[in-house]
């Protein structure tokens, strides 16, 4: 089996402020992110060979195909590919570009993820109208909060955690992310919250409350990729892709004997990513985590799914502060989906943006102290029982 390890490097990244960007169209956001990425990489738009555009809901203000990207940037009739994999879109777009670079068919690749959710007209993500894998004819009246909330119901029941205690653990996760978000000028939500506020918040889908759910935001993020052996020609401190793995559900979870308290796609993607990157002990070897905290329960379960926390005991690690901004393995040091926001197509790339800046020592007040060489991003689309997990491991050094 092949490996992407140390074949591709990121030499530039950009990220817009995420939030309710009433001021910006989809194309405005693309330009904002790409501008920063080009300056960071010290390359010009004419140097780009090929581009990938990650958008989950093109029908909201962006449009089908790669044309929203090529027409915004006036790319000269380049190959531009539209990529979508629900919330894992961003990482999937990076993966497509990385493979093109590794195949030697492309010298400099541009990847942009963008979403204009706030043009939808109602809160939350769009209603899915007609899908074969989650058809409205068969599924319950489901929405993302409800789908993930069920995992919390199961988790509390299986590990015999009284819901009151369970909600405290979930609250701590969000409080922790808000600490980081408060320090991040690009984040959507920048206010600290307390455990009490989280516990008293209105219920969205029991047992998840307002502060257990990430916000809905607009934003864009961009990355410029080159072959690893050429990276040092562009900058002193390129960041190397150590692993890129995607796992897509077989559909068996909802039909067979899934236990309701883990996301199988994450487990499989993580196992393959560690094999690809040569990581034997993630808890000891990983320095930073950017996990898909669409809901606090997702983050809790993901600690276990990526093999960092033991099964059923991630709550102990949460409460001990292991994942705090000042902890040993900071998780969501930029605020995560929870605070930075979740413009779906951009999120996977925004996660890499934070790891990228951290590994380069450029995270300012939020900079991890001590060893900072290896970071993992986890990007999850779909529902816990029908998911797409995309994992990327980034490293500061080649080899």
Partner 1 sequence: MANYDEDAITMAVEAGMECILCSGVNREAIDGVYFASTSPTFKERSCAEIVATALDLRPDIYIADFTNTTKAGTTALLSAYNAVKAGSAQNILVCASECRSRIAKCGSSYEALFGDAAASVLIGRGDVVAEIKAFHSISYDFPDFWRTYRDDYERAWEDRFIREEAYLKFIPEAISAVLKKAELRPEDISRVCYPALFPREYMTIATNLGFKADQLQPSMLDTIGDTGSAWPIIMLIAALEEARPGDRILMASYGNGSDTILFEVTDGVERIRGKAKSVKSQIESKRYLDNYGKYLVFCEAIHVERGRRAEDTSLTPLTEQWRRRRAILAFVGTKCKKCGLPQFPPQKVCANPDCNAWDAMEPYRFSEKKGTLFSFTEDYLAFCYVPPAIYGIVDFDGGGRWIMDITDVEPGMCKVGMRVRPTFRRKVVDHERGIIIYSWKVTPRLAD
Give the torsion through C-alpha atoms of 52, 227, 346, 150, to 10 deg.
110
Considering the complex, what minimum distance in angstroms separates the CB of residue 327 from partner 1?
Answer: 30
Which residues are CB-contacts of 205 (< 8 A; sequence separation ≥ 6)? 143, 145, 146, 148, 149
Residue 364 exposed, middle or buried by CB count within 10 Å (0-12, 13-18, 19+): exposed
Which of 22, 46, 103, 137 binds partner 1 (CB under 8 A)? It is 137
C-beta of 211 vs 353, nearer to partner 1: 211
C-beta of 143 vs 327, nearer to partner 1: 143
Considering the complex, what minimum distance in angstroms separates the CB of residue 118 from partner 1?
Answer: 14
Tokens at residue 332, please?
A: 């969501």
Return the residues of window 201-220 that contact partner 1 according to CB under 8 A: 202-208
Which of 121, 162, 185, 399 binds partner 1 (CB under 8 A)? It is 121
Q: Which stretch binds partner 1 (CB under 8 A): 128-136, 192-200, 231-239, 300-308?
A: 128-136
Which of 80, 106, 109, 149 binds partner 1 (CB under 8 A)? It is 149
Catalytic positions are 87, 342
Tokens at residue 199, please?
A: 């516990």
Q: Which stretch binds partner 1 (CB under 8 A): 34-42, 62-70, 74-82, 130-138?
A: 130-138
C-beta of 120 vs 195, nearer to partner 1: 120
**x/- track of binding to partner 1 for residues 340-379 (CB under 8 A):** ----------------------------------------
Query: With CB under 8 A, what is the number of residues at the site for partner 1?
Result: 41
Measure the CA–CA gap between 79 and 60, rounded to whole angstroms. 23
Name residue 393's beta-bridge partners.
243, 376
User: Are 9 and 227 in contact, with CB atoms under 8 Å apart?
Assistant: yes
C-beta of 136 vs 371, nearer to partner 1: 136
Tokens at residue 398, please?
A: 């080649």
Q: Which stretch binds partner 1 (CB under 8 A): 11-19, 22-30, 83-91, 147-155?
A: 147-155
Return the residues of window 153-182 that contact partner 1 according to CB under 8 A: 153-154, 157
Measure the CA–CA gap between 376 and 64, rounded to whole angstroms. 30
Tokens at residue 242, please?
A: 């150590």
**Closest to 102 in 3D by CA, of 8, 223, 20:** 8
Residue 379 exposed, middle or buried by CB count within 10 Å (0-12, 13-18, 19+): buried
Considering the complex, what minimum distance in angstroms separates the CB of residue 311 from partner 1?
Answer: 17
Residue 335 as a binder of partner 1 (CB under 8 A): the answer is: no
């Amino acid at each position: 089996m092949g490996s992407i390890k140390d074949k591709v490097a990121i030499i530039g990244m950009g990220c817009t402020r995420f939030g309710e960007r009433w001021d910006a169209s989809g194309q405005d956001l693309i330009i904002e992110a790409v501008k920063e990425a080009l300056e960071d990489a010290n390359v010009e738009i004419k140097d780009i060979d090929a581009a990938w555009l990650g958008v989950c809901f093109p029908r909201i203000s962006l449009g089908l195909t790669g044309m929203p990207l090529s027409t915004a940037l006036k790319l000269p009739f380049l190959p531009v590919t539209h990529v979508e994999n629900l919330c894992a879109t961003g990482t999937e777009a990076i993966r497509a570009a990385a493979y093109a670079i590794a195949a030697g068919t492309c010298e400099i690749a541009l990847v942009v993820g963008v979403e204009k959710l706030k043009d939808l007209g109602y809160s939350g993500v769009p209603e899915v109208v007609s899908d074969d894998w989650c058809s409205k004819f068969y599924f319950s009246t489901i929405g993302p909060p409800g789908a993930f909330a069920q995992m919390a119901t199961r988790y509390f029941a299986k590990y015999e955690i009284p819901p009151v205690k369970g909600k405290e653990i979930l609250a701590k996760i969000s409080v922790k992310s808000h600490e980081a978000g408060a320090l991040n000028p690009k984040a959507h939500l920048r206010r600290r919250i307390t455990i009490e506020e989280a516990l008293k918040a209105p219920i969205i889908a029991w047992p998840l409350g307002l502060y257990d759910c990430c916000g809905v935001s607009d934003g864009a993020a961009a990355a410029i990729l080159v072959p690893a052996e050429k990276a040092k020609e562009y900058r002193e401190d390129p960041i190397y892709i150590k692993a890129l793995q995607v796992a897509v559900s077989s559909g068996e979870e909802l039909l067979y004997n899934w236990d309701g308290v883990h996301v199988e796609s994450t487990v499989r993607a993580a196992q393959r990513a560690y094999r690809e990157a040569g990581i034997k002990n993630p808890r000891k070897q990983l320095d930073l985590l950017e996990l898909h905290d669409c809901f606090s329960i997702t983050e809790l379960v993901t600690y276990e799914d990526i093999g960092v926390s033991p099964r059923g005991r991630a709550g102990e690690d949460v409460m001990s502060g292991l994942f705090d901004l000042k902890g040993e393995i900071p998780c969501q040091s930029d605020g995560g989906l929870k605070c930075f926001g979740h413009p779906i197509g951009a999120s996977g790339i925004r996660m890499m943006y934070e790891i990228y800046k951290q590994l380069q020592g450029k995270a300012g007040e939020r900079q991890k102290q001590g060893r900072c060489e290896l970071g993992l991003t986890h990007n999850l689309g779909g529902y816990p029982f029908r998911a797409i997990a995309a994992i990327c491991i980034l490293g500061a050094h080649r080899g």
